[in-house]
Amino acid sequence: EVQLVESGGGLVQPGGSLRLSCAASGFTFSSSWMHWVRQAPGKGLVWVSCINTDGSTINYADSVKGRFTISRDNAKNTLYLQMNSLRVDDTAVYYCVSDGSHGEFDSWGQGTLVAVSS
Amino acid sequence: EIVLTQSPGTLSLSPGERATLSCRASESPTSSYLAWYQQKPGQAPRLLIYGASSRATGIPDRFSGSGSGTDFTLTISRLEPEDFAVYYCQQYNWSPPRYTFGQGTNLEIK
């Protein structure tokens, strides 16, 4: 069974930093593209970033480019999201998601809440 | 920027009825890379349909996806009580990779 377990969320002040982690199990993590998707309270889903199997190809949504950094450690089966210069509008539940075969988001973690507020 | 527009915003139906949800793209997704998700309150989304018409593992056959080009449909043939939720469509375009969600359709019990 695929399991994706996020951690690292919490309350942070505007301008601050957080690092999210996602522990993966139940599938071959090193063979899967991975993503972060977020959802602001009461709002819809927004793709944030993706990384290929060996970390050599990375893409970001324009809204986080230059502030967020995605990375992975295949030896530890773990995905990361370093979030710097956080803004109030970054407040959301952040989901770790595995990539499917046709551009879809195959399996989802339970999410971790990031709240940016003074 | 590619935009996905879902309609209706809210759909009120009764168990046993047929639900038809629409998703219109401002431009065609790469190779019909269009997916549908179900999200219940307090839960993560669940993949229902990928590649416009292929059901994900474990998804009941009352869920079906269709469409091509810029117009896509999710149909639930006979609503069960557990089907009332918010549904999102999502598309993928290469070069550069972009993943876009629709704003969602809230399927509620009438």
Using the predicted structure, report yes or no on whether residue A102 has a pLDDT greater than 90. Answer: no
pLDDT of residue B29: 77
pLDDT of residue B93: 85
Mean predicted lDDT score pLDDT of chain A: 97
Mean pLDDT of A89-109: 95
Nearest to B29 by CA among B46, B45, B9, B51: B51
Q: Residue A60 CB: number of other CB atoms within 10 A?
A: 19
pLDDT of residue B110: 93
Mean pLDDT of B77-85: 97
- Contact between A114 and A67 under an 8 Å Cβ cutoff? The reply is no
Q: Is the peptide bond before B8 cis (omega within 30 degrees of 0)?
A: yes
Option in A46, A101, A102 nearest B101 (CB) = A46
Using the predicted structure, report yes or no on whether residue A68 has a pLDDT greater than 80. Answer: yes
Using the predicted structure, report yes or no on whether residue B96 has a pLDDT greater than 90. Answer: no
Mean pLDDT of A9-21: 98
Residues on chain A touching B103 (C-beta within 8 angstroms): 44
pLDDT digits (tens, 9 = 90+) for B1-53: 789 999 999 999 999 999 999 999 998 877 779 999 999 999 999 999 999 99
A·B CB contacts under 8 A = 66
Using the predicted structure, report yes or no on whether residue A94 has a pLDDT greater than 80. Answer: yes
Mutate to test the interface with B, among A60, A62, A97, A104 (most CBs of B within 10 A): A104
Q: How confident is the model at residue B90 (pLDDT cuts 50, 70, 90)?
A: very high
Mean predicted lDDT score pLDDT of chain B: 94
pLDDT of residue B98: 86
Whether A103 has its CB under 8 Å from any CB of chain B: the answer is yes
In Å, how far is B15's CA from the nearest CA of chain A? 25
pLDDT digits (tens, 9 = 90+) for A26-62: 999 999 999 999 999 999 999 999 999 999 999 999 9
Mean pLDDT of B59-64: 98
Mutate to test the interface with B, among A37, A105, A112 (most CBs of B within 10 A): A105
Interface of A with B in 7-66 (CB under 8 A): 35, 44-47, 50, 59
Contacts of B62 (CB under 8 A, 6+ apart): B76, B77, B78, B80, B83
User: Quick one: tokens of B32?
Assistant: 């019909």
Asked if B100 and A111 come within 8 Å (Cβ–Cβ), the reply is no
